[in-house]
Structure 1
Amino acid sequence: MSRPGAGAPMGAIGSAPIDAGRGNWFQPRSALFWVYCAAVLAGPLVFLAQAAGMVRFGGAQAMAALPITAATLVFFGWVLFALDPFRARRRLVAPIVLGFLWGASVWPGVALWANDHVTHAVTNLAGDSFASSWQAAIAAPIDEEFIKAIGIAVVAVLFRSRLRRPMDGFLIGGFVGLGAQISEDVLYSVQTALAAPQNPVADVLIVALLRLVTALTSHWAMSALAGVGIVVLLLRTDRSWGWRWGFFALFYGMAVLMHFVFDAPRPGGPGWLLMFLPVIIDLTIFALAYRWVLGVERKWLRANISQPIARTLGSEAQLASLLTRRSRRRARAGLRAATGMGRRQARRYEHELIDRVELLAEPQPQPIWNYQQTPRR
């Protein structure tokens, strides 16, 4: 990414922007689309049928946490975009929005109902003593992850023609989980307001801040891994169904394991360790899975920039600089030194170049399992 004149001028790069809405989100001929719509509309009603009293008596005080909850939404939305270095999100605006709506509207009421039934089953089977310690760690990973996975699968099937790579599932799953995370934060604020009649606003703010601090590996991260498994299950047609289900089980199992660790009883030790040990363990699981996803992303980029047609976008060195964050920073610095661009202009040029590379694959999208580099001449 040495200078705009190398290969294609900046004006040319930006002259044909990616169609972020490629393929309409409105699919009236799809029965599954109408099932999705019915679920999204019914979800809040299911929630209010169970929690109307809580909302009525604790909703006003819980409003104090809305700025922190909004900050949680913005921050972890930014994190998900930051984990998408090659901008797959440009193809996935509608799937991301519909996924978030599923997590925010369908998940809360169904999860509340399911948690009650699963925790009662745990109590009946294992007794009150065991259930008081382990019911959250058993119930939540089972039903909450399953409800989110249904939403991921529904959205992935609706937009299957747009899916290209595991990163697509990572983003759809991440935003389904983020919707669930935000709705759960609101529910916790209401419950805290009811449980603290003396000074509810202060307690609501404290709980909201704790939820923000400990959300580094919360629902968004768990569902992102489940989304990878679901998309590979749908798209990896070169493998047997047994292999595809095994891959799905691995990534979905990691999501369930992260949730179990997050809710499991804490061992003895210092207070800071009790709070952050589950986050450390979950972050390790998440990082290992994300490393594989990022490796596939780089493999995809190498395959595209190795095509002879890619030379119309820029020089070989210019395109190769897109592969890692470090090389991109160096390339942006060199671009600014050579052209006098500002930081924002250099970053915009980089993004437009990535979007053009994405377009190279659009006429005949390569399957996620067959990125073969074209031999160089």
Structure 2
Amino acid sequence: MTDHLRNVPVVLPTGAPARRRRGLFPHYQWATWLYWVCLVVTGFSMLLTARQDALLTPEGLGIGVLLAALVTLLLTAIIRRLDLFEDEPGPLLLAAYAWGFVAAPTIVVVANDHLISALERVGLASWSAALAGPTDEELIKVLGVVLVLYAGRAHVTRPLNGLVYGAMVGLGFEVSENISYIVQGAIMDPNSDAVGALQVGLSRVLVGFGAHVMFSAIAGFGVAYALTAFRISVARRIGVALGAYLLAWALHFAWNAPEIFLSSSEAGVFASVFLKYVVLILAFVLVFRYARSIDHHWFETVLADQPADVVTPGEMEALRSVHARRAVRKAARRAGGAAESRRLADLQEAQLRLATLLGIYPDGSPPVEVQKQVVHEIRSRLTVPVEVPA
């Protein structure tokens, strides 16, 4: 659950599971096989490269891996909080990250070499990075998003799911790319591998922090929209997916493009990078807000007809945001102590699980009814009424 309460175990009716049991990456799906074949082949190639880097500059590789680990931990914590109503399964998040870290950069290296050579032959050398980067990288990254979403589609019920998995693919790609640049910086520095690695590493982290995360998140939103918006026409779903992908491509193109409007001075370069980064963040925020508005509508729809002993209007309002959930738990703590606050946290988690189930199963089906019993059982242990602060 996005509020990260504790994912506490809930006492259930005998023999009844709280969550639906859905396989991750079923072996009979083409997407599963394609994902694993690509990951194994590219993983072997990456291991050979890593072995060579370790022999050439162990300091550079070590610094790159350390910075990659720090960035991964920080951005993963942020990404996992984007979904207000459900925790995405850890194995699927890891699968998305692995595609971005291993498969995508390994394939992109080969594709970029060929495309850049072709662009140089037709006189577009100065624009090769702007054209080749988004063309190859966004295509390979979004392929990974498609494979992860399709192979784990039982867990994909809303467009925001795609945004989260896309962000994880982008995160894997970004830190993997950073490591390769850091290693190159260590090798090229004439004085010290460590100094060269740190200079390149800090510049890569500080300039465009999370750019690939946002590119791929936008494209991932479009893919999940096409897969989950069943009440929308196929043409519109495809149009949104294509539009999101083209937006990601255009933002990446602009980021890599040479400066043609501002001066080539240090101040001009800084202003250009700053402006591009602001535009990228604004575009991501707009897509994210749109995805969240879809989420709020979905949440209100699936719980709209539930009786008050399952979820009251006040509880519905509190569940809509992390801030409101924490506020009602603080009110419960003041009224009934820490134990009451924990019980209310359990109730919120159970209600969010119920909403997720109702998004897949019809009301009255066994998984939904079992989860309603869980909600009733937790509610029976509350000692003070739930108060929603104004």
Deviates more, 1:162-171 or 1:299-308: 299-308
Against the structure 1 CA distance between its residues 299 and 116, is the aligned structure 2 distance closer, same or farther, given a 3 Å change threshold? same
**Distance between the aligned counterparts of 1:346 and 1:283, measured in 2?**
38
Q: CA deviation at 1:168?
A: 1.3
**2:310 matched residue in structure 1:** 313
Q: CA deviation at 1:49?
A: 6.9
Against the structure 1 CA distance between its residues 345 and 277, is the aligned structure 2 distance closer, same or farther, given a 3 Å change threshold? farther
Secondary structure at 1:277 match in 2:
helix
**1:250 matched residue in structure 2:** 243
Corresponding residue to 1:107 among 104, 107, 121 = 104
Matched, 1:139 2:139: no
Contact conserved, 1:217 with 1:283, CA < 8 A, in 2? no
Against the structure 1 CA distance between its residues 51 and 115, is the aligned structure 2 distance closer, same or farther, given a 3 Å change threshold? farther
**Distance between the aligned counterparts of 2:336 and 2:277, measured in 1?**
44
Instruction: Write the mapping of 1:210-289 to structure 2, written as runs, cut at 5 A.
Output: 210-266=203-259, 267-268=262-263, 269-270=267-268, 272-289=270-287
Give the structure-2-normalised TM-score. Answer: 0.80
Against the structure 1 CA distance between its residues 328 and 26, is the aligned structure 2 distance closer, same or farther, given a 3 Å change threshold? closer
Q: CA deviation at 1:174?
A: 1.3
**Distance between the aligned counterparts of 1:140 and 1:347, measured in 2?**
49
**Distance between the aligned counterparts of 1:25 and 1:285, measured in 2?**
32
Q: Deviations over 1:202-236 (max 9, x none)?
A: 23123222333334441121111111111222333
**Distance between the aligned counterparts of 2:199 and 2:251, measured in 1?**
24
Which runs of no fewer than 5 residues in structure 2 stay unpaired? Answer: 1-5, 364-390
Larger RCO of the pair (alpha carbons < 8 Å, separation 6+): 1
Against the structure 1 CA distance between its residues 188 and 346, is the aligned structure 2 distance closer, same or farther, given a 3 Å change threshold? farther
**1:95 matched residue in structure 2:** 92
**Distance between the aligned counterparts of 1:195 and 1:99, measured in 2?**
32
Contact conserved, 1:62 with 1:190, CA < 8 A, in 2? yes
Q: CA deviation at 1:50?
A: 7.3
**2:382 matched residue in structure 1:** none
**2:118 matched residue in structure 1:** 121
Partner AA of 1:158 in structure 2: A
**Distance between the aligned counterparts of 1:177 and 1:33, measured in 2?**
20
**2:195 matched residue in structure 1:** 202
Secondary structure at 2:97 match in 1:
helix
The count of aligned residue pairs is 348
**Distance between the aligned counterparts of 2:275 and 2:340, measured in 1?**
38
Which runs of no fewer than 5 residues in structure 1 stay unpaired? Answer: 1-9, 366-377
Q: CA deviation at 1:283?
A: 0.2
Matched, 1:331 2:328: yes
**Distance between the aligned counterparts of 1:257 and 1:347, measured in 2?**
45
Superposed CA RMSD: 3.0
**Distance between the aligned counterparts of 1:11 and 1:106, measured in 2?**
32
**1:372 matched residue in structure 2:** none
**1:28 matched residue in structure 2:** 27
Matched, 1:14 2:10: yes
Instruction: Write the mapping of 1:16-95 to structure 2, written as runs, cut at 5 A.
Output: 16=12, 19=19, 22-47=21-46, 54=53, 56-89=55-88, 92-95=89-92
Against the structure 1 CA distance between its residues 353 and 181, is the aligned structure 2 distance closer, same or farther, given a 3 Å change threshold? same
Q: CA deviation at 1:31?
A: 3.6
Give the structure-1-normalised TM-score. Answer: 0.82
Against the structure 1 CA distance between its residues 290 and 26, is the aligned structure 2 distance closer, same or farther, given a 3 Å change threshold? closer
Partner AA of 1:78 in structure 2: A
**Distance between the aligned counterparts of 1:281 and 1:343, measured in 2?**
45
**Distance between the aligned counterparts of 1:163 and 1:251, measured in 2?**
18
